[in-house]
Amino acid sequence: MQPADHLQNMSPSYIREILKAATAENVISLAGGLPAAEHFPMALLQQPLQQISQSPELFQYGATAGYQPLLDFCAEHYQLETGNSGLITTGSQQGLDLIARAFLNPGDGVAMEAPCYLGALQVFELAKAELFTVEQSDSGPDLVALEQLFAKGNIKIFYAVPDFHNPTGRVWPLAARQAVAKLCQRYKVGLIEDAPYRELRYHGDALPMVSSFCPEQAWILRSFSKIALPGIRLAFISGPQNWIDPLIKIKQASDLHSPIPLQALLLGLLKSSEFNNHLLKLREQYAERYQALSGALDKYLGDKISFQQVEGGMFLWLELNQKNDQPINTMKLAERALENNVAVVPGEVFYPVGQLSRPALRLNFSHASPQQLEIAIQRLVKAFDRQ
């Protein structure tokens, strides 16, 4: 039986292959976007788990939008704007997929930054959207290019990760946030503000969310994978009520609802008086890992690479300096790194197929320990040397 045509559009899942290889025992992986399991808040789970074990009603079918006490908590905690509502999804990935399924017709235009989160690329390709990218710099997305795109009239959605972007780690400055909100309002483009790393800031002050300047024109995706636990697969998506209701309709047909016992578990965790301390400690631990990684990069690869310091998130974007205009094959480089037992992701997989990219590698620093990170870079040096 032939798979559907749109399955042919999907980007090859190179990252799935590399993640599989990266699980070999002697490989240090800087490839995935995995949190550190040794820092999961297991102690804070004990009491909520105990409660769940005595609550058969949590194991019954539930409402599609989510477990009401968790929805209420999120609405208050995130101070939802009047007229906005939310639902619980199986990770932000499902939130994205629901938006694409509920709002995109084949051929509708979607704008995104390049490079871009791979899971978003896949979702929009599956929806047969037409993808347009704008470049990104330290001042945020290229606003001139973005307005030109919007002005053409076919862009329905702009997908953005303004805080600690995946894969570049960049944060949009305030001016870019205000300008993008204005553009979305002027051209009636729906903004998806994907904010999985927003609460992982290690230095400096948080900036207002882009959607706070255009709440009537945006969805916000908040993941609990990075601050709580990824294996429970829970996220909260909010936006104008008539932008949320169609998502609930699609979710009902796609899986009825996300598991209630885990929604109750998450609520117990978020309400725990110790949760804030967990978050403070987590930020310290990840900051330490980032220091270990950036220190090792300076020490061992200083002349071959350049990178912008990041203030949070999980990723560092390593730009490779070409010598004598000789092109660098980052796919080959990642393969050689894997032969040396360190897994990294070549930058080009974060671009739509066929699009030109500057040579770069994405390095994750949340999963490996500080000691492993230093060893990983020593191994990476060998891959560079064999180039």
Can you tell me which residue has the tokens 């903004």? 191
d(C-alpha 295, C-alpha 279), whole Å: 24
Contact between 115 and its own copies by CB under 8 A: the answer reads no
Contact between 230 and its own copies by CB under 8 A: the answer reads yes
Contact between 60 and its own copies by CB under 8 A: the answer reads yes
The answer to whether the beta carbons of residues 115 and 141 sit under 8 Å apart is no
The 3-state DSSP class for residue 122 equals helix
Which residue, among 312, 30, 33, 36, has the nearest Cα to 163 in the 3D structure? 312
Please identify, using beta-carbon distances, which residue of 25 and 325 lies nearer to its own copies.
25
CA distances from 257 to 106, 220, 262 (A): 26, 19, 12
Residue 67: count other Cβ atoms within 10 Å of its Cβ.
Answer: 24
Please identify, using beta-carbon distances, which residue of 344 and 380 lies nearer to its own copies.
344
**At CA 116, angle to CA 176 and CA 373, rounded to 5?**
105
Site for its own copies in 146-205 (CB under 8 A): 156, 188, 190
Contact between 344 and its own copies by CB under 8 A: the answer reads no
Size of the residue set binding its own copies (CB under 8 A): 71
Which one among 90, 294, 330, 366 touches its own copies, defined by CB under 8 A?
A: 90
Please identify, using beta-carbon distances, which residue of 247 and 320 lies nearer to its own copies.
247
Contact between 35 and its own copies by CB under 8 A: the answer reads yes
Query: Which of the stretches 7-15, 279-287, 310-318, 349-357 binds its own copies when contact is defined by CB under 8 A?
Result: 7-15
Give me 88's structure tokens: 């619980």
The 3-state DSSP class for residue 112 equals strand
- Spatial neighbors of 204 by CB under 8 A, at least 6 apart, are 311
Site for its own copies in 207-226 (CB under 8 A): 225
Contact between 144 and its own copies by CB under 8 A: the answer reads no
Which one among 84, 85, 94, 211 touches its own copies, defined by CB under 8 A?
A: 94
Q: Please report how close the Cβ of residue 4 comes to its own copies at its closest, in angstroms.
A: 5
Contact between 61 and its own copies by CB under 8 A: the answer reads yes
Give me 231's structure tokens: 């294996």
Which residue, among 163, 160, 151, 175, has the nearest Cα to 114 in the 3D structure? 160
Q: Please report how close the Cβ of residue 297 comes to its own copies at its closest, in angstroms.
A: 25
Query: Which of the stretches 9-17, 172-180, 207-215, 284-292 binds its own copies when contact is defined by CB under 8 A?
Result: 9-17
Which one among 46, 137, 277, 322 touches its own copies, defined by CB under 8 A?
A: 46
Q: Please report how close the Cβ of residue 371 comes to its own copies at its closest, in angstroms.
A: 20
Which residue, among 219, 225, 239, 224, has the nearest Cα to 70 in the 3D structure? 224
